Structure 1
C-alpha cells in the first residue's frame, strides 16, 4: 500500500460522518443532509401544496426555491429583502419584506401586493415572521433589528409587538404589546391556537384564537425562544435557535434536538412530495431530514 493510499484511508477514517438521529419522529437511519450552501444567510422556509420549498437569502435580496425534483432555482430577485414567509391556501406567498418594513403577498403569477407598511401612521419596526389563518387573516411579529440597508437606527413603534391583519386586509390591530422581542410565530391548522416566541426573553407562549382573531388564555409553552417555527400534524412544535432545531410535544415536553453544526439555525418547515421532509435554514445552508411525521399542507 503506497503512502497516498494510506493518507486517503486516514482522512476517510478521520472525517466526521453524519450521525443518525434516534427518535420516533425521525425516519430510521436518516441523517441531516446539506442540500445547498452558497448563501449569505438563509431564512423563512415554507412549502407549497406540492411540497416545493421556498426560502430567503436575505443579504442577497432573493427568494430561492428547492423543487420536489431536487433542483435549486431563484424564484424572485430582488425580493424586498424578504425574511419570514408563509404560503396561504390559495398558493400566495406572504412575505415579511424587510427593505421597507412592509408585508407583501405574492400570487402564483409573481404579482406583488403591498398589504401594509405602517401602524397608527408610523413605520413598522420590521415585520419578521407571519402566519396566515385558514380564513385569510394573518398574524405577524414586528421586532426591531437594525438593518444595514436602512437609513434609520431607531424604531418608530413604541413596542416590539404582534399584530393581527383582518381578512379584508384593511384593519391592523396590535394584539400583543408586552413581549421583549417577539420573533417566530405559527398557528394550528384549525386556526384555534397561536404560538409566539419571545426570543428576547427566551420563552415561547401559546394563545387561544377566537373567530375574530382575538387572543386569550395566554400560557407559557416552554422556556425557550425561537427564530422560526413550524408544526407537524401531531401538534409537535419545532423551534429554532443557536443549538439547532428543538421539538416539543403539544404539552410542552422536549422530545428532540436536531443540531445543525451551524452558528445559527434560523427557521424550519416541512416539505417534499409527502410533506415528510424537514427543511432547515441554518446560516449559509439549506438542510433536510427525513421524518416519520408530516407537516401541515397549505
Structure 2
C-alpha cells in the first residue's frame, strides 16, 4: 500500500512538473508580446513585402505588383515614397540613410536616396541577368549579401533563367563584382545578419530550412549549420538573438533554433517583418494586401 501511495505521489509530482513547464511555455509569449495587441493598419495594397526601418524608426515597405514603396512613420502616418520602384522586393537601409532594394524588374540592386532618386548598385552583364534579387542585408563594412531565387514574374519578357542556379551572393563595398557565397540551396530567400557582423542567417524557401553561417573577414561564409527546419520569406532578429520567420504567421525561435513563440496572423500569409518605432519595439508585419503592427517587450537590432 505504501508503495502504491509513493508511486502515485511520484506520478502526481511528474504531472504537476510537466504542467508547470507547459504553463511556462504557453506564457512565454507574454514575455515577448500580447497576441491581442496585433493591429491591422491597412489593407489598401496588393502584395506587401520588403519591410525595413530607418534610423528614426520609420518603416519603408514595398507593394511589388503596384511598383511602389511606402513609408509608415513613427507617428503612424502612411505616405507614398515612390511609384517608380523598379518592382522592388526586399529592402535594407545603409549607414548613410539610403534605401537599398532588390529590384527585379531589371534584375538589379538599387539605392534610393531620401528623395527616392535611384542609383544602380549592381547588375549582371547582359545575356546573363540575375534570376531576380529577392532580399538583402548589409554588413558593418557596407558589403551586401543578397539572395537570388527564380520566381517567374508576369512583367518579364523572358520565360526561363539566364544563369545556372539560385544562389546567395556577396558584393563588397565599392566593388563591381559579386562573389557566390552559397550555391547549394534550392531557393534562397530571406536573409539577415547579427548586429556584431559575425553571423548570417539564410532561409531556403523551397527546401523549408533556415541555415546559420559564420561570416569571415573577407565576406565569405563558413561552418554552415542547419538551425531550423522551416523556411521563410523575410526575417528579422531581436536584441536577445531570437529569430523571427515569416510564412504561416510569424514563428519565433531562440539562438539554438528552438521555437519559443508564435504570432497568429490568420487572415493571410506573412511575407516580411522588421522592428519599428522610436524605440524599435514595434513589430511591423507585411502580409498579403495588408500591414500589421504588434508592440513587443523586446527591441530589434537592425
Q: Which residue of 1 aligns with 2:255?
A: 250
Residue 65 of structure 2 aligns to a residue in which SS? helix
Judged with a 3 Å threshold, the aligned counterparts in structure 2 of structure 1 residues 120 and 253 are, in CA distance, closer, same or farther, namely: farther
Greater shift, 262-271 or 37-46, is seen at 262-271
1:227 shift after superposition:
0.6
Moved over 3 A (4+): 27-30
Q: Which residue of 1 aligns with 2:283?
A: 278
Q: Which residue of 2 aligns with 1:295?
A: 300
Q: How many residues matched? A: 277
Deviations 1:40-63 (A, max 9, x none): 000010110110000000000000
Q: Does structure 2 retain, via aligned residues, the 8 Å contact 1:131–1:139?
A: yes
TM norm structure 2: 0.88
Equivalent of 1:90 in 75, 91, 96:
96
Deviations 1:90-130 (A, max 9, x none): 21111000111110111224331111121696100000000
1:30 shift after superposition:
4.9
1:170 shift after superposition:
1.7
Equivalent of 2:192 in 186, 193, 198:
186
Q: Does structure 1 retain, via aligned residues, the 8 Å contact 2:35–2:264?
A: no
Q: 1-side partners of 2:44 and 2:28: how far apart?
A: 29
Judged with a 3 Å threshold, the aligned counterparts in structure 2 of structure 1 residues 153 and 120 are, in CA distance, closer, same or farther, namely: closer
Alignment of 1:154-193 (within 5 A): 154-193=160-199
Larger radius of gyration: 2
Q: Which residue of 1 aligns with 2:9?
A: none
Alignment of 1:129-144 (within 5 A): 129-144=135-150
Gaps of 5+ in 2: 1-26
Q: 1-side partners of 2:184 and 2:140: how far apart?
A: 26
Q: 1-side partners of 2:126 and 2:196: how far apart?
A: 30
Equivalent of 2:158 in 143, 152, 172:
152
Equivalent of 1:268 in 261, 267, 273:
273
Gaps of 5+ in 1: 1-20
1:26 shift after superposition:
2.8
Equivalent of 2:77 in 71, 87, 93:
71
Deviations 1:158-183 (A, max 9, x none): 00000000111322111111110000
Residue 180 of structure 2 aligns to a residue in which SS? strand
Structure with greater helix share of residues: 2
Judged with a 3 Å threshold, the aligned counterparts in structure 2 of structure 1 residues 44 and 194 are, in CA distance, closer, same or farther, namely: same
